[in-house]
Structure 1
Amino acid sequence: MSRHSKILLIALVLVIGSCVTPFEIDVYSDKKYLVVEANLNDIDKEQSININITNNFAENTYNSPLSELKVELIVNKTETINLIETKKGIYALPFSFRIAPGAIYQLRFQMPDGTLYQSSEEKTSQAAAIDKIFDEFVADGIKGELRDFPANYVYLDFRDNPNEKDFYVWTWTLWENQRFCKTDYYDYYCGNKCWEILPNKDFNVFSDVYSNGKATFGKLIAKIPYYSFDGALLEIRQQAVSEQAYHYFKLLTEQTQTNGTLVDTPPAAIVGNIKNISNPTEPVGGVFSVATVVKQKYWLNRENGIGKAIPVGLLGRMPVLVPNQITYPCLKSPTRTPTKPEGWID
């Protein structure tokens, strides 16, 4: 990251109602930047958004939640839904709220000092169904700085909606058997059943500009590290998003790939579709997006990797076993669960 004071990183600007452009946060500056995570969908769970301020300290950036904001969602330009702050910086919609295809949504929020921020109007269509999921083993599938790592490449087939301009984003969640529930100098076995929960580190995007209404075969949507000989459960989410959100996630993906590996943090924040009404030149990181989602689970049996490579392991190394029988319980958290995932095959 450059040490010189600058905000704009690339001259690339994608003009589609509002700009999508990366900007670099100067770690030697005392400037603070607003970052919004507001991805709403029709999945059956509580919908919420996060609003933070980035703070710079010792060449690192940290997010501090912004509290006591007035946050609203405008639906079809007429209906206003007030969001409630459930935790510092986290604002939730009513539990029954879900994104509906064809509706128009706009995010608006106001600071305690009266500064007003507003997103572009966002609209989405119904996500297409997934026809087929399959995978192949690739011994050097994930590129690393020092060496390459084995992986399962996961593909799917789907048929695009006819007579509509569609934009897709794919994300996924992976459940893996976790055998070690505590690590200090030694690695301690779990005292009960345990599953590690691993989300995607990058976004996979697609536009139907050249394939509108046609079938797409063998679209690569995930590269899953060869963690174990054991099978794992993968949930794939195929999302239909707006053109503005598509360009945001596309740029985010390109930054991640350019930076070297799938697990690196992108080198710059990205300005999305949220603006300060009184000061439109203020860079606001993040995006407001709406999506309909098709979910499908896939059992990754990993049989196609047997004898071709050594698993990398969830610890990323060989475990250092404790010299006694001490175990630790598997505790429920955002990244781990003792509850057997629905669809898991023993």
Structure 2
Amino acid sequence: MKKTIKALAYLILLGMVSCIEPYEKTFKTSSNIIIVEGLITNDYATTPILLKESVPSETGSSRLLPIKGAVVNLLVNGESKIPLNEKTEGEYYLDPTFKGEIGKKYKLQFTTADGNMYESTEEALPVAVGIKKVSHQLVDKLITDAQGNGRAGYKLFVDVDDPASQANQYMWGWTIYERQSVCKTCTGSYYYTTPAPLGSCVEDAILKRYNNIFDYNCTGNCWDIVRSSDLFISRDEFYNGGTLKSQYVGKIPVYTFSGALVEMSQYSISRTAYDFINLSLQQGVQTGGLADTPPAQLTGNIKCLTDPSINTSGFFVVAGKSKFKYWLDKADAYEAKVSPLGLFGGRELKLEPAGPNTTRPPLAPCVNSLTRTNQQPEGWIN
């Protein structure tokens, strides 16, 4: 049976429109596949461990379904167990105050609702290597938006002084903080501040008929948080002990002309993690998480203890993380008169028009989440 694995690039996650093109590959398999994506570092654990199952169908396509109701634990040094909690279907979180410790060994263990037990290989958390410098280059039509239009974007580069004392493998990611003025969007409805504290969108027959959209400004400060979805890696076999200069590590759309804060993350990863990601890139996986790789080809470091015949894929990564904060003022984009993508995936802002009722349009609160915060990011320049 053929099944099509579709990996959609995502910007972890909710409500954001990806500007990265999806890919599609076809593999021959007739089995369900358990897929795992996880990352433990010496930084706070804010992102979830993802558990999914790839389920083939008679039509030749496949579906990636969340694995619900699993019992998930992080095993530390083969002794203590730290439980994870399922907040959203298939997404399992550590306590947000948790940080991995350099030198300690970590293993992921979980039991699914059908009683099958799984575990990753054990990996020690390596020493993080710091970023020496971050730079950028404005490129026209670097990004393709949801409508297929080319948009300007920034290529990001890093310099790294590579330690000569050991072999090193690197993975990079970025987080960008953009000032957001809109905290609520209603489709076919008006926004009301009741029930408190978040309010709600109340359907209106005329607005619904024309699929009308209204945006509502924030009651106070608010920032959108966008995370990278591309995979960029390197190993130091050709520059061990030297300086890695102008390593390309990602691209960011020009969302607005306002300045933004970029936080570059550099991960020191194991050779096995590097080899898995490198193989996925060679097989055509350019974007998305490790839980969206073609599972028929990539076995990763997860195995089923109770039934070895069950296919598994994905990778549980244990990495040393260093961060570098970089202010992106975007003056070059303004001078070049590029067309910014905006913070709505290319859609233009549409505020509810003011009328004789002075209580409208109301303001909406900035709701903290993985993709938004009302707390000024450290390093922000007003």
Report the TM-score when normalising by structure 1.
Answer: 0.79
For 2:47 and 2:229, the matched residues in 1 are separated by 21
| Letter of the structure 2 residue corresponding to residue 191 of structure 1 | C
For 1:93 and 1:322, the matched residues in 2 are separated by 40
For 2:46 and 2:144, the matched residues in 1 are separated by 36
1:196 Cα deviation from its structure 2 partner? 1.1
1:165 equivalenced with 2:191 (yes/no): no
* Pairwise CA RMSD: 3.5
For 1:229 and 1:8, the matched residues in 2 are separated by 37
Partner of 1:326, secondary structure, is: coil
Could you tell me which of 300, 305, 314 is aligned with 2:343?
314
Q: Is the 8 A contact 1:82 1:93 kept in 2?
A: no
Gaps of 5+ in 2: 7-23, 188-211, 355-359
CA 1:6–1:334 in 2, change beyond 3 Å: closer, same or farther? closer
Residue deviations 1:20-72 (CA, integer Å, cap 9, x gap): xx996889x7x543222221111034786343434568956243334253635
1:200 Cα deviation from its structure 2 partner? 0.6
For 1:25 and 1:66, the matched residues in 2 are separated by 26
In structure 2, the residue matched to 1:15 is none
In structure 1, the residue matched to 2:250 is 222
| Letter of the structure 1 residue corresponding to residue 178 of structure 2 | E
Q: How does 1:320-331 map to 2 (within 5 A)?
A: 320-324=350-354, 326-329=361-364, 330-331=366-367
| Letter of the structure 1 residue corresponding to residue 85 of structure 2 | T
Deviates more, 1:272-281 or 1:93-102: 93-102
CA 1:169–1:194 in 2, change beyond 3 Å: closer, same or farther? same
1:341 equivalenced with 2:377 (yes/no): yes
1:149 Cα deviation from its structure 2 partner? 1.6
| Letter of the structure 1 residue corresponding to residue 379 of structure 2 | G
For 1:307 and 1:167, the matched residues in 2 are separated by 38
Report the TM-score when normalising by structure 2.
Answer: 0.72
Deviates more, 1:48-57 or 1:173-182: 48-57
Could you tell me which of 285, 294, 311 is aligned with 1:268?
294
1:301 Cα deviation from its structure 2 partner? 0.5
In structure 1, the residue matched to 2:208 is none
Q: Is the 8 A contact 2:5 2:62 kept in 1?
A: no
For 1:87 and 1:74, the matched residues in 2 are separated by 20
Partner of 2:141, secondary structure, is: strand
In structure 2, the residue matched to 1:188 is 215
Partner of 2:218, secondary structure, is: coil
Partner of 1:61, secondary structure, is: strand
Gaps of 5+ in 1: 10-21
1:227 Cα deviation from its structure 2 partner? 0.9
Partner of 2:335, secondary structure, is: coil
Identity of aligned residues (%): 29
Q: Is the 8 A contact 2:74 2:84 kept in 1?
A: no
1:69 equivalenced with 2:71 (yes/no): yes
In structure 2, the residue matched to 1:13 is none
CA 1:313–1:82 in 2, change beyond 3 Å: closer, same or farther? same
Aligned residues between the structures: 322
| Letter of the structure 2 residue corresponding to residue 233 of structure 1 | L
| Letter of the structure 1 residue corresponding to residue 348 of structure 2 | M
